Amino acid sequence: MRDVRSYTPMKKIVLALLLALSVALLVTACDSGKKEEEGANGKPVAGSTSSAPKAETAVQAQAVEEATPPPSPEELDRADRLVAFSNAASMALATGRYAQADVLAAYTKYYLAEWQLAKRPELNTDQDAALARRLTPPVSLFTPEQAQKMAACVQDMNKAIVDMRADYRLLEKYVSDESIQDNGVKGKALAAEILKEHAAFIVARDAYMAIVEGEAAPAEDILLRNHPLKRQIQAAERIFAVFGKTATLLTPSKPDRDALKAQRDELAAAIADGGRPPFMAAPELERQYRAFLKQAGSYAQLFDQGLEEEFYVPVRFEMNKAALASRAAYNDFVKVANQMR
Protein backbone atom coordinates (compact mmCIF):
# COMPACT_ATOMS: atom_id res chain seq x y z
CA MET A 1 0.00 0.00 0.00
CA ARG A 2 1.32 3.42 -0.96
CA ASP A 3 2.25 5.65 1.96
CA VAL A 4 0.21 8.82 2.32
CA ARG A 5 2.46 11.82 1.73
CA SER A 6 1.90 15.25 0.26
CA TYR A 7 3.95 18.35 -0.48
CA THR A 8 2.27 21.72 0.01
CA PRO A 9 3.25 25.37 0.67
CA MET A 10 0.96 25.26 3.74
CA LYS A 11 0.25 28.99 3.95
CA LYS A 12 -1.43 28.49 7.30
CA ILE A 13 1.86 27.51 8.89
CA VAL A 14 3.53 30.52 10.45
CA LEU A 15 7.14 31.10 9.46
CA ALA A 16 8.22 32.95 12.56
CA LEU A 17 7.98 30.81 15.68
CA LEU A 18 8.64 31.71 19.23
CA LEU A 19 12.15 31.12 20.53
CA ALA A 20 12.66 29.87 24.05
CA LEU A 21 14.24 33.10 25.13
CA SER A 22 13.53 35.62 27.80
CA VAL A 23 13.66 39.13 26.32
CA ALA A 24 16.22 41.66 27.53
CA LEU A 25 14.49 45.02 27.49
CA LEU A 26 15.79 48.43 26.47
CA VAL A 27 13.62 50.52 28.76
CA THR A 28 13.47 50.42 32.55
CA ALA A 29 10.72 50.60 35.22
CA CYS A 30 8.87 51.25 39.06
CA ASP A 31 8.38 49.82 42.53
CA SER A 32 6.41 46.60 43.03
CA GLY A 33 3.46 46.12 45.36
CA LYS A 34 1.26 43.26 46.41
CA LYS A 35 -0.44 41.21 43.68
CA GLU A 36 -4.15 41.23 42.97
CA GLU A 37 -6.14 38.21 44.05
CA GLU A 38 -7.42 37.66 40.53
CA GLY A 39 -5.26 37.20 37.45
CA ALA A 40 -6.05 37.29 33.74
CA ASN A 41 -9.35 35.68 32.64
CA GLY A 42 -10.39 35.27 36.28
CA LYS A 43 -7.62 32.83 37.12
CA PRO A 44 -6.39 33.08 40.71
CA VAL A 45 -2.89 34.34 41.21
CA ALA A 46 -0.69 31.72 42.84
CA GLY A 47 0.00 32.58 46.46
CA SER A 48 -2.43 35.51 46.58
CA THR A 49 -3.57 34.49 50.06
CA SER A 50 -0.22 35.65 51.43
CA SER A 51 -0.43 39.15 49.96
CA ALA A 52 0.29 40.90 53.26
CA PRO A 53 3.70 39.25 53.80
CA LYS A 54 4.50 39.91 50.15
CA ALA A 55 3.57 43.56 50.54
CA GLU A 56 5.86 43.81 53.56
CA THR A 57 8.65 42.19 51.57
CA ALA A 58 8.11 44.65 48.73
CA VAL A 59 8.25 47.60 51.12
CA GLN A 60 11.44 46.25 52.68
CA ALA A 61 12.99 45.73 49.26
CA GLN A 62 12.07 49.28 48.29
CA ALA A 63 13.64 50.61 51.48
CA VAL A 64 16.85 48.71 50.82
CA GLU A 65 16.89 49.98 47.24
CA GLU A 66 16.47 53.58 48.32
CA ALA A 67 19.20 53.20 50.94
CA THR A 68 21.66 51.72 48.46
CA PRO A 69 24.17 54.23 47.08
CA PRO A 70 23.41 55.19 43.48
CA PRO A 71 25.53 53.48 40.82
CA SER A 72 28.56 55.27 39.47
CA PRO A 73 28.60 56.64 35.91
CA GLU A 74 30.90 53.77 34.95
CA GLU A 75 28.48 51.20 36.40
CA LEU A 76 25.57 52.81 34.60
CA ASP A 77 27.48 52.84 31.31
CA ARG A 78 28.42 49.16 31.57
CA ALA A 79 24.88 48.21 32.63
CA ASP A 80 23.44 50.11 29.69
CA ARG A 81 25.81 48.39 27.24
CA LEU A 82 25.09 44.95 28.72
CA VAL A 83 21.32 45.35 28.44
CA ALA A 84 21.65 46.78 24.93
CA PHE A 85 23.80 43.81 23.86
CA SER A 86 21.42 41.33 25.49
CA ASN A 87 18.52 42.90 23.62
CA ALA A 88 20.39 42.83 20.31
CA ALA A 89 21.44 39.20 20.80
CA SER A 90 17.91 38.14 21.75
CA MET A 91 16.49 39.81 18.67
CA ALA A 92 19.17 38.26 16.47
CA LEU A 93 18.29 34.79 17.73
CA ALA A 94 14.62 35.48 16.97
CA THR A 95 15.35 36.48 13.36
CA GLY A 96 16.64 35.02 10.10
CA ARG A 97 18.46 31.72 10.08
CA TYR A 98 18.37 31.44 13.87
CA ALA A 99 14.57 31.62 13.90
CA GLN A 100 14.48 29.07 11.09
CA ALA A 101 15.73 26.35 13.41
CA ASP A 102 12.46 26.45 15.35
CA VAL A 103 10.48 26.86 12.12
CA LEU A 104 12.00 23.73 10.56
CA ALA A 105 11.45 21.77 13.76
CA ALA A 106 7.79 22.83 13.83
CA TYR A 107 7.37 21.94 10.14
CA THR A 108 8.93 18.55 10.82
CA LYS A 109 6.59 17.84 13.73
CA TYR A 110 3.65 18.88 11.56
CA TYR A 111 4.84 16.47 8.88
CA LEU A 112 4.95 13.61 11.38
CA ALA A 113 1.43 14.46 12.54
CA GLU A 114 -0.26 15.28 9.22
CA TRP A 115 2.08 13.90 6.51
CA GLN A 116 2.24 17.32 4.89
CA LEU A 117 5.51 19.18 4.47
CA ALA A 118 6.04 22.91 4.08
CA LYS A 119 8.78 24.35 1.91
CA ARG A 120 12.00 25.47 3.50
CA PRO A 121 12.07 29.21 4.24
CA GLU A 122 14.52 31.12 2.09
CA LEU A 123 17.87 32.28 3.41
CA ASN A 124 19.02 35.91 3.38
CA THR A 125 22.82 35.73 3.32
CA ASP A 126 23.42 39.42 3.99
CA GLN A 127 20.93 39.51 6.85
CA ASP A 128 22.36 36.35 8.39
CA ALA A 129 25.88 37.78 8.30
CA ALA A 130 24.64 40.87 10.12
CA LEU A 131 22.85 38.72 12.69
CA ALA A 132 26.01 36.73 13.35
CA ARG A 133 27.91 39.96 14.04
CA ARG A 134 25.27 40.98 16.57
CA LEU A 135 26.04 37.81 18.53
CA THR A 136 29.68 38.83 18.95
CA PRO A 137 30.04 40.78 22.21
CA PRO A 138 32.04 44.02 22.44
CA VAL A 139 35.54 43.67 23.84
CA SER A 140 35.73 43.76 27.66
CA LEU A 141 31.97 43.43 28.16
CA PHE A 142 32.43 39.74 29.07
CA THR A 143 35.43 37.84 30.40
CA PRO A 144 37.69 36.10 27.85
CA GLU A 145 36.38 32.73 29.08
CA GLN A 146 32.78 33.83 28.62
CA ALA A 147 33.49 35.24 25.17
CA GLN A 148 35.17 31.98 24.14
CA LYS A 149 32.20 29.91 25.31
CA MET A 150 29.78 32.25 23.54
CA ALA A 151 31.72 31.91 20.28
CA ALA A 152 31.65 28.12 20.61
CA CYS A 153 27.89 28.23 21.18
CA VAL A 154 27.40 30.32 18.04
CA GLN A 155 29.46 27.81 16.04
CA ASP A 156 27.35 24.96 17.39
CA MET A 157 24.14 26.81 16.50
CA ASN A 158 25.37 27.53 12.98
CA LYS A 159 26.35 23.89 12.44
CA ALA A 160 23.00 22.65 13.72
CA ILE A 161 21.13 24.98 11.36
CA VAL A 162 23.21 23.86 8.36
CA ASP A 163 22.59 20.21 9.23
CA MET A 164 18.87 20.80 9.73
CA ARG A 165 18.49 22.50 6.36
CA ALA A 166 20.44 19.75 4.62
CA ASP A 167 18.30 16.98 6.11
CA TYR A 168 15.13 18.97 5.51
CA ARG A 169 16.13 19.27 1.85
CA LEU A 170 16.45 15.47 1.73
CA LEU A 171 13.02 15.18 3.35
CA GLU A 172 11.56 17.49 0.69
CA LYS A 173 13.01 15.30 -2.06
CA TYR A 174 11.71 12.18 -0.37
CA VAL A 175 8.19 13.58 -0.02
CA SER A 176 8.07 14.76 -3.64
CA ASP A 177 9.32 11.40 -5.02
CA GLU A 178 6.16 9.36 -5.55
CA SER A 179 8.19 6.37 -6.75
CA ILE A 180 9.27 5.65 -3.16
CA GLN A 181 6.91 3.14 -1.53
CA ASP A 182 8.25 2.57 1.99
CA ASN A 183 5.25 3.60 4.10
CA GLY A 184 7.08 6.65 5.43
CA VAL A 185 10.09 4.83 6.90
CA LYS A 186 12.76 7.10 5.42
CA GLY A 187 10.68 10.19 6.13
CA LYS A 188 10.43 9.30 9.80
CA ALA A 189 14.18 8.67 9.97
CA LEU A 190 14.98 12.03 8.38
CA ALA A 191 12.51 13.76 10.68
CA ALA A 192 14.18 12.18 13.69
CA GLU A 193 17.57 13.51 12.54
CA ILE A 194 16.16 17.01 12.06
CA LEU A 195 14.66 17.03 15.55
CA LYS A 196 17.92 15.69 16.99
CA GLU A 197 19.82 18.54 15.33
CA HIS A 198 17.24 21.00 16.63
CA ALA A 199 17.82 19.70 20.15
CA ALA A 200 21.54 20.41 19.71
CA PHE A 201 20.67 23.91 18.52
CA ILE A 202 18.55 24.53 21.61
CA VAL A 203 21.35 23.37 23.92
CA ALA A 204 23.79 25.79 22.28
CA ARG A 205 21.30 28.64 22.22
CA ASP A 206 20.37 28.19 25.87
CA ALA A 207 24.02 28.02 26.90
CA TYR A 208 24.74 31.24 24.99
CA MET A 209 21.80 33.11 26.51
CA ALA A 210 22.59 31.81 30.00
CA ILE A 211 25.90 33.66 29.83
CA VAL A 212 24.34 36.80 28.38
CA GLU A 213 21.42 36.93 30.78
CA GLY A 214 23.64 36.09 33.73
CA GLU A 215 25.38 39.43 33.17
CA ALA A 216 22.42 41.40 31.84
CA ALA A 217 19.99 40.61 34.69
CA PRO A 218 21.95 42.42 37.45
CA ALA A 219 22.75 45.18 34.96
CA GLU A 220 19.06 45.67 34.32
CA ASP A 221 18.43 45.85 38.07
CA ILE A 222 20.81 48.79 38.17
CA LEU A 223 18.95 50.55 35.36
CA LEU A 224 15.56 49.79 36.92
CA ARG A 225 16.46 51.22 40.31
CA ASN A 226 13.74 53.67 41.45
CA HIS A 227 12.25 53.84 37.94
CA PRO A 228 8.51 54.72 37.88
CA LEU A 229 7.55 51.83 35.56
CA LYS A 230 9.61 49.11 37.19
CA ARG A 231 6.64 46.89 38.06
CA GLN A 232 5.16 47.08 34.56
CA ILE A 233 8.42 46.23 32.83
CA GLN A 234 9.20 43.38 35.18
CA ALA A 235 5.69 42.03 34.54
CA ALA A 236 6.41 42.14 30.81
CA GLU A 237 9.63 40.21 31.38
CA ARG A 238 7.67 37.57 33.28
CA ILE A 239 5.19 37.32 30.41
CA PHE A 240 7.97 36.84 27.87
CA ALA A 241 9.57 34.27 30.15
CA VAL A 242 6.29 32.32 30.15
CA PHE A 243 6.28 32.37 26.35
CA GLY A 244 9.77 30.92 26.28
CA LYS A 245 9.24 28.31 28.99
CA THR A 246 5.98 27.22 27.40
CA ALA A 247 7.68 26.74 24.04
CA THR A 248 10.31 24.59 25.75
CA LEU A 249 7.68 22.56 27.62
CA LEU A 250 5.84 21.88 24.36
CA THR A 251 8.96 20.42 22.72
CA PRO A 252 8.53 16.80 23.98
CA SER A 253 5.93 14.56 22.34
CA LYS A 254 4.13 14.32 25.71
CA PRO A 255 4.36 17.72 27.46
CA ASP A 256 4.22 17.99 31.25
CA ARG A 257 0.67 19.25 31.89
CA ASP A 258 1.34 20.21 35.50
CA ALA A 259 4.31 22.34 34.45
CA LEU A 260 2.22 23.92 31.69
CA LYS A 261 -0.57 24.74 34.14
CA ALA A 262 1.99 26.36 36.43
CA GLN A 263 3.11 28.56 33.53
CA ARG A 264 -0.52 29.45 32.81
CA ASP A 265 -0.95 30.57 36.43
CA GLU A 266 2.28 32.58 36.25
CA LEU A 267 1.03 34.24 33.07
CA ALA A 268 -2.22 35.23 34.79
CA ALA A 269 -0.26 36.64 37.72
CA ALA A 270 2.10 38.63 35.49
CA ILE A 271 -0.73 40.10 33.41
CA ALA A 272 -2.60 41.10 36.56
CA ASP A 273 0.51 42.59 38.16
CA GLY A 274 1.32 44.62 35.06
CA GLY A 275 -2.25 45.83 34.67
CA ARG A 276 -3.00 47.07 38.17
CA PRO A 277 -2.70 50.81 38.90
CA PRO A 278 -1.00 53.11 39.32
CA PHE A 279 0.73 53.60 35.98
CA MET A 280 3.22 56.39 36.62
CA ALA A 281 3.53 57.74 33.07
CA ALA A 282 1.64 59.62 30.37
CA PRO A 283 -1.79 58.29 29.26
CA GLU A 284 -0.51 57.55 25.74
CA LEU A 285 2.24 55.37 27.15
CA GLU A 286 -0.27 53.55 29.35
CA ARG A 287 -2.48 52.88 26.30
CA GLN A 288 0.47 51.33 24.50
CA TYR A 289 1.27 49.14 27.48
CA ARG A 290 -2.33 47.99 27.86
CA ALA A 291 -2.41 47.11 24.16
CA PHE A 292 0.52 44.81 24.92
CA LEU A 293 -1.38 43.28 27.87
CA LYS A 294 -4.37 42.70 25.59
CA GLN A 295 -2.18 40.73 23.19
CA ALA A 296 -0.79 38.74 26.10
CA GLY A 297 -4.38 38.04 27.13
CA SER A 298 -5.06 36.59 23.67
CA TYR A 299 -2.14 34.24 24.20
CA ALA A 300 -3.62 33.28 27.58
CA GLN A 301 -6.93 32.36 25.93
CA LEU A 302 -5.13 30.18 23.38
CA PHE A 303 -3.17 28.63 26.24
CA ASP A 304 -6.47 27.58 27.82
CA GLN A 305 -7.61 26.16 24.49
CA GLY A 306 -4.36 24.22 24.24
CA LEU A 307 -4.85 22.72 27.69
CA GLU A 308 -8.32 21.58 26.61
CA GLU A 309 -7.23 20.25 23.21
CA GLU A 310 -3.86 18.75 24.17
CA PHE A 311 -1.99 21.54 22.31
CA TYR A 312 -2.83 20.25 18.85
CA VAL A 313 -0.46 21.65 16.20
CA PRO A 314 -2.80 24.37 14.82
CA VAL A 315 -3.29 25.71 18.36
CA ARG A 316 0.48 25.87 18.84
CA PHE A 317 0.82 27.92 15.67
CA GLU A 318 -1.85 30.35 16.87
CA MET A 319 -0.06 30.62 20.22
CA ASN A 320 3.16 31.46 18.40
CA LYS A 321 1.37 34.14 16.39
CA ALA A 322 -0.09 35.62 19.58
CA ALA A 323 3.31 35.60 21.28
CA LEU A 324 4.88 37.41 18.33
CA ALA A 325 2.02 39.93 18.31
CA SER A 326 2.63 40.52 22.01
CA ARG A 327 6.30 41.16 21.38
CA ALA A 328 5.44 43.58 18.56
CA ALA A 329 2.99 45.43 20.82
CA TYR A 330 5.61 45.70 23.54
CA ASN A 331 8.13 47.03 21.03
CA ASP A 332 5.60 49.75 20.17
CA PHE A 333 5.41 50.59 23.87
CA VAL A 334 9.22 50.77 24.02
CA LYS A 335 9.36 53.11 21.01
CA VAL A 336 6.82 55.50 22.52
CA ALA A 337 8.62 55.39 25.88
CA ASN A 338 11.96 56.21 24.27
CA GLN A 339 10.42 59.09 22.29
CA MET A 340 9.15 60.60 25.54
CA ARG A 341 12.56 60.51 27.24
Please provide the DSSP assignment of 64-101 as one string.
Answer: HHHHSPPPPHHHHHHHHHHHHHHHHHHHHHTSHHHHHH
117 has which bridge partners? 7
Domain at 187, CATH number: 1.20.120.930
Residue 269: inside a domain = no
Contact 329, 291 (CB under 8 A): yes
Residue 231: inside a domain = no
Residue 125 zone, left/alpha/beta (φ > 0; ψ -120 to 50; rest): alpha
Rounded average pLDDT over 46-73: 55
The per-residue pLDDT of the chain, averaged, comes to 81
Residue 124: inside a domain = yes
Residue 30: inside a domain = no
Q: Model-level pTM greater than 0.75?
A: no
Rounded-to-integer distance, Cα 331 and Cα 280, Å: 19
Rounded average pLDDT over 116-133: 89
Is the pLDDT at 61 greater than 80, yes or no?
Answer: no
Is the pLDDT at 50 greater than 70, yes or no?
Answer: no
Contact 220, 28 (CB under 8 A): yes
- Lowest pLDDT segment from 55-64, 82-91, 203-212: 55-64
Residue 76: inside a domain = yes
Phi, psi (deg, nearest 5) at residue 143: -70, 160
Rounded-to-integer distance, Cα 289 and Cα 89, Å: 23
How many structural domains is the chain composed of?
1
Share of the chain above pLDDT 70, in %: 80
Residue 32: inside a domain = no
Rounded average pLDDT over 61-86: 80
Is the pLDDT at 13 greater than 80, yes or no?
Answer: no
Domain extent for 172: 69-224
Residue 214: inside a domain = yes
Q: Which H or E run contains 147?
A: helix 144-176
Residue 184: inside a domain = yes
Tens of pLDDT, residues 238-254: 999 999 899 889 887 78
Q: CA 150: distance to chain centroid?
A: 19
